[in-house]
Amino acid sequence: MDHSEGEGRGERGPHVAHRLSDPVVAERFAALETVGHNSSDVIVVLNHGGFVLYGNPVAQQFFELSAEEGVGTDALGLIHPEDRERVVERFLSLMERPGGSIREALRIVTPSGVVKDLELVATNSFDNPAIGGILVNGQDVTQRNRDQRELVSLAERFRVAFAENMAPMTFTDLEDRIIDVNDAMCEMVGYAREELVGQDSTIFTYTEDVGITEESHRRALAGETPQTRYVKRYRRKDGRIITVEVSRATAVGPDGQPQYFVFSERDVTEERTMTAELSKRALHDPLTGLANRSLFEDRLAHAHARARRHGGYGAVLLIDLDDFKGVNDTYGHVIGDELLAAIADRLRRVARSTDTLCRFGGDEFLVLVEEMAGGGEARAIAERILEEMAAPFSLRGTTFVQRASVGVAVFDPSAEDVSTLVQSADIALYEAKRQGRGRVVVFTPSMHLEAVSRFTLAQDLSRALERDEMSMAFQPIIDLANGEVVGYESLMRWRHPERGAVPPDVFIPLAEQSNLIYDLGAFALRVAAEAMNRLPRSDGYPPYVTVNLSARQFHDRNLPDLVRRALRLHDVAPHRLLLEITESVALEDITESLAIIEELATLGVGVALDDFGTGFSSLSYLVQLRPRAIKIDQSFVRPAAPSPQSDAILELILLLGRKLGVMMIAEGIETPAQYHRLRGVNCRYGQGFLWSPAVGLDEVEDLITRLSESPPIDHSRRRRGRMNERHVAEAD
Ligand code: C2E
Ligand code: MG
Ligand code: MG
């Protein structure tokens, strides 16, 4: 850089430059030159007018001016406009203080427009002959300031992120001791910051979950994962337990070693209870707390997978409450609901912890049994369930017995598919109910075929009435003493368009499964009542006619009304009608049966106990029921192996009937020998193929004629040989 001397403000560059060649000036700055060249500071000398007299290389670089350009430059133009006024004022005051100095920080703008920070000390050195101007010694602090600004904003950012964060945060050292916590953290655990700093996290960790922290700490120190997330329980200072989701991050130093840990925590207590509650609601039946269908299906699929992997048997038990509807109707839904809950409790008592209990719907429950050694265990469990159910329930002062039936479907490790298992259990359940309720039936594949044909048959049956496929047939009832036809049993017939005759033993139970039974029952009554005006009695009196009733028909509240209307419509004397119910139906609920029989009796209609001797009637019940007729079951009439014992029973039944004044009718007499045997024990009435099967109304006239022309039994002869009846029966 060349030297020049500016004398006062207002002097301009070219003028100054002129002087640069001045050897005097050059000499004047020689000393400064040496110092300036080696200095890392910005060194500039200004004249009175603020023009540059000298600038060292650092200054040239700083101001982006070459030596030639630099000298004579108006320093004022280099100062940032915003700082200009302040700096000029300070320099003017410095002018007046020879030897004085000022310290100043300012921004300059280089010719290319770059803003730089300069910190300087300016000294009034006019009196110094080696300088003769203002000596400016400055430092480029641009970078330093920028760093500082950055630091400040970094700290601020950190402060906001930590102190003012709504999310709880904790810093710990390598021993997991707390270095700092933010306000949100203090609030979450209910401790003050001072109580926490210096402690380790066990102060607020739920005792059982300390291991979780230790494990995470160990892994963090081992550098296994730079970040871990886990859930543990905290115990707040007030003792309340909360569930917290914790994220741990490791801060590493320049050497790559862990320095400290940063935790951010989230209280998920409410969230968790809500999800738990929601999922519980989505997967459980609210009334009983048992699993619902979808959870059950899920468990079943898993059980199946486990059985395939590890072997072992599993089973689905479908439990259906017998006549639960009755409970609801009689005691109301509140008790009905309580009963369901009580049943669920009993199931829980029987079930093992690995079993899944499910409320399948209304009054049906499912049990999934796993890890059985064999299929047979399932039946044992089902029977235990029925045993457990057998004890009476006491709810709100009412005690009642609730029976159940169970269908069981077993799967073994080779089972391909379990999706039809519930359906199989359902088929077995149907079978259990068909066999008389209160039973356990285990599914076998043949039941499936039956179920399928049953289903299509039920469909056909529902249309049978309107398609005119149903009819009534009549089987004569004979006075065994003289061979006269005194009455008829009406039996229903179904002529299926493809299958031909379907026996009532098949279609009546099917109809009982739906309300179809009521339609069929009404049909039977109507047709029988109408026929009563046309059915002849061989001795000229009006015959009596029996109509069979199924269990549901018997309990139907509309029954008396239905009977009354049928009789009135066809103007038939009520005492000619007998309704047949089986012994077991009558005994199911003896009190109710008595009431129904009583009501029918006021109409004049009698009841006959069908299939008598097959149930386990107690004699005292029989006396109470006082049926008008008893029909002795075919198994007594045609015993598989006649024996003195069966003869004795038959005799006793007949004796009892006579004592009670009940009409005794033997069913299914096929041979003269059977006839004679019955006569030998004084049975008065009977029916059977020996005389005729049930025939259509149109055939009855012919039948009566045939029976009187060629009776199967010669009563004139028999009357003479009465004393030898028993003897004849044995000889036949
Ligand atoms: P049930 O009331 O005990 O009827 C007697 C059954 O024995 C009838 O069978 C009848 O045809 C048959 N039978 C009569 N005499 C003899 C004989 O000498 N030998 C043999 N082996 N069998 C004889 P069916 O008609 O097949 O009826 C079967 C069952 O279906 C009836 O048993 C009854 O419980 C039910 N049923 C029939 N019709 C009706 C009806 O209209 N309503 C209801 N609810 N059930 C009916
Ligand atoms: Mg009958
Ligand atoms: Mg019968």
Residue 483 to residue 543: CA distance in whole angstroms: 14
Q: Which residue among 548, 585, 607 has the greatest number of ligand 1 atoms within 8 angstroms of its CB, and so is best to mutate? A: 548
Q: Give domain status of residue 448, yes or no.
A: no
Radius of gyration for the chain, computed over Cα atoms and rounded to the nearest angstrom: 55
CATH number of the domain that residue 295 is part of: 3.30.70.270
The CATH number assigned to the domain holding 228 equals: 3.30.450.20
Residue 50 lies in a domain: yes
The DSSP secondary structure of 67-126, one letter per residue, reads HHHHTT-BGGGGB-HHHHHHHHHHHHHHHTSTT-EEEEEEEEE-TT--EEEEEEEEEEET
Residue 157 in domain: no
CA 184 from centre of chain: 37
Q: Please indicate, yes or no, whether residues 167 and 130 belong to a single structural domain of this protein.
A: no
Q: Is residue 77 part of a domain?
A: yes
Residues with CB under 6 A from ligand 1: 475, 491-492, 503-505, 508, 524, 548-550, 580, 610-611, 667-670, 687-689, 693-694
What single-letter DSSP state applies at residue 288? T
Cβ neighbours for 331, distance < 8 A, ≥ 6 positions apart: 398, 400
Asked whether the whole model's pTM tops 0.95, one would answer: no
Q: How far apart are CA 508 and CA 593, in angstroms?
A: 21
In this structure, the answer to whether residues 423 and 315 fall within a common structural domain is yes
Burial of 7 from C-beta contacts in 10 A (0-12 / 13-18 / 19+): middle
Report yes or no on 216 lying in a domain: yes
Residue at which a domain ends, from 254, 273, 292? 273
Beta-carbon contacts of 557 under 8 Å, excluding residues fewer than 6 positions away, are none
Q: Which ligand is nearest to the CA of 688?
A: 1
Q: How many domains does the chain have?
A: 4
Amino acid identity, position 65: L
Same domain, 502 and 535: yes
Nearest residue (by CA) to ligand 1, atom 35, is 504
Domain shared by 356 and 497, yes or no: no
Position in ligand 1 atom list of the atom nearest CA 504 = 30
User: Does residue 121 share a domain with residue 173?
Assistant: no
Query: Does residue 450 sit in helix, strand or coil?
Result: helix
Q: Which domain holds residue 268?
A: 163-273
Which pLDDT does position 27 carry in this prediction?
Answer: 66
Is 583 in the same domain as 532?
yes
Same-domain pairing of 481 and 604: yes
Q: Does the residue 583 lie in any domain?
A: yes
Query: Residue 656's pLDDT is what?
Result: 86
Measured between alpha carbons, how far is 171 from 203 in angstroms, rounded to an integer?
15
- Nearest by Cα to 168 from 218, 221, 236: 236
CATH (domain of 631): 3.20.20.450
Find the 209 Cα to ligand 2 centroid distance in Å.
73
Question: What's the pLDDT at 3?
Answer: 43
Task: Name the domain boundary from 273, 300, 323.
Answer: 273
Give the position of tokens 């005194």. 486
Residues 58 and 173 occupy one common structural domain? no
6 belongs to a structural domain: no
Q: What is the mean pLDDT of each run of 10 residues along the chain (732 residues)?
A: 41 38 59 82 91 90 85 89 93 92 94 93 90 92 89 82 87 91 94 92 88 85 80 92 91 85 90 76 83 89 87 91 82 88 93 89 91 84 92 86 92 81 91 86 85 85 94 97 95 93 91 91 96 87 94 91 95 96 83 91 94 72 86 89 80 88 95 94 95 96 93 72 38 33
Q: Flag whether 451 is in a domain.
A: no
What count of residues does the chain have? Answer: 732
What is the C-alpha separation between 334 and 346, in angstroms, rounded? Answer: 19
Q: Are residues 579 and 539 in the same domain?
A: yes
Residues 30 and 169 in one domain: no
Pick the last residue of a domain from 407, 427, 443.
443
Point out the ligand nearest to the CA of residue 527.
1
Tell me, yes or no, whether 250 and 310 share the same domain. Answer: no
DSSP code of 697? G
296 in the same domain as 184: no
Q: Distance between CA atoms of 706 and 703, rounded to whole angstroms?
A: 5
Q: In three state form, how does the secondary structure of 637-694 look? A: HCCCCCCHHHHHHHHHHHHHHHHHCCEEEECCCCCHHHHHHHHHCCCCEECCCCCCCC
Give CA–CA dist 512/510, Å, rounded: 5
Task: For residue 495, give the H/E element and its range.
Answer: strand 485-496
